[in-house]
Amino acid sequence: MSDRRWSRLVTVALGLGLWAASLAGGAAARADEAQGGLRYTVAVTKFENRSNWSGQWALADTFGAILTDALQQTGRVIVLGEADMRRAAMAEQDFSASGRVVQGAKTPRIGQMTPAQLLVKGEITHFEASTGGGSGGISVMGLRLGGGKETAEIRAVIYVVDSTTGMVVASKRVAGKASKRSFSVGFSDRNWGADLAGFRKTSAGEAVEKAVDEAVAFIIGQLEEIPWTGSVVLVKGEKVYINRGEREGVRVGQTFLVGQREELRDPDTGELLDVSLEPVGKIQVLRVKKKIAICKALEGADRIARGMMVTLP
């Protein structure tokens, strides 16, 4: 290949990469602007492996772990521990409340866990990993060294679920495919361990990460369609305390509407159909702590009360 042709290919590749990055960044920026930079609490639930592939490493668990990490890195959501971690935390709280544990300021207490507003779950519908061509390779203690071509492909379905209603608010099919040529280093299925960094260097790892990147861009893009809300926890004189703070992205100077939460329910089934706000006032953030914000009432100071809903104007 001539130097000129190679230079053109590199230029096109760089251009496509920058274009793709700008699209992803643009989607995140629009969601961020729509919500004023505010964050949701999200829990990634256990993924299911519905593909025909089976091996010595847990495909669904690995996908879920990489997705959890990728969501955390965006800074746009508050990622809670997975279900098994939360069950372990609840077991520790129950043990602490049994009377067998020394009580103190750091003793785990019941009723303090942060609830998830959104649940992310999914199913692996297809996975294929193949090695072919070239001179093959050798495997020593699970470490595979070799040449040729190694290809992996994964497809999955991602669901975003409203934890209040249990309804799926968005879903998307995502896919990832990756190939490695010439000399490669990987891990054999038989000796798979917990080395997530090592897995990410394999073609299978790259395929999973591509699918995860697509899933994260989709999830972040849905935030502008999902109403962000909070609640008044205390009214003290002219100050109004709300249960959203620095952790949720609340900033000094932001304004919120405050009012009565109105729920429309199906009279036949009791299903929640819609939630709306009947505004009684407006507040502005004066000071922000980790989990709360202290505000002043701009309108309706005498009508704002504990338990009222807070949302963006």
Quick one: pLDDT at residue 157? Answer: 95
Looking at the structure, do residues 219 and 249 belong to the same domain, yes or no?
Answer: no
Host domain of residue 299: 229-311
Q: Which residues are bridge partners to 202 per DSSP?
A: none
Choose the final residue of a domain: 166, 192, 225: 225
Quick one: pLDDT at residue 30? Answer: 41
Answer whether residue 137 is part of any domain. Answer: yes
* Comparison of pLDDT for 109 and 61, the residue scoring more: 61
Question: What CATH number should be reported for the domain holding residue 268?
Answer: 2.40.10.410
pLDDT over threshold 50, residue 162: yes
pLDDT over threshold 70, residue 300: yes
pLDDT over threshold 50, residue 20: no
Please list, in sequence order, all residues whose beta carbon lies within 8 angstroms of the beta carbon of residue 288, skipping any fewer than 6 positions away. Answer: 245, 246, 250, 251, 252, 294
| Structure-block tokens of residue 146 | 């070799």
Looking at the structure, do residues 302 and 164 belong to the same domain, yes or no?
Answer: no
**Whole-angstrom Cα Rg for the chain:** 24
Quick one: pLDDT at residue 245? Answer: 92
Quick one: pLDDT at residue 102? Answer: 62
Looking at the structure, do residues 274 and 153 belong to the same domain, yes or no?
Answer: no
Looking at the structure, do residues 80 and 145 belong to the same domain, yes or no?
Answer: yes
Quick one: pLDDT at residue 188? Answer: 45
The pTM for the full model equals 0.64
Looking at the structure, do residues 157 and 54 belong to the same domain, yes or no?
Answer: yes
CA gap 306, 219 in Å, rounded: 32
Looking at the structure, do residues 75 and 160 belong to the same domain, yes or no?
Answer: yes
pLDDT digits (tens, 9 = 90+) for 258-276: 998 887 887 887 777 777 7
Buried b (16+ CB within 10 A) or exposed e, 160-196: bbeeeeeeeebebebebebebeeebebbeeeebeeee
| 161-178 mean pLDDT | 87
User: What amino acid occupies position 219?
Assistant: I
Looking at the structure, do residues 265 and 292 belong to the same domain, yes or no?
Answer: yes
* Comparison of pLDDT for 291 and 99, the residue scoring more: 291
Looking at the structure, do residues 193 and 241 belong to the same domain, yes or no?
Answer: no
pLDDT over threshold 70, residue 140: no
pLDDT over threshold 80, residue 63: yes
| 59-70 mean pLDDT | 88
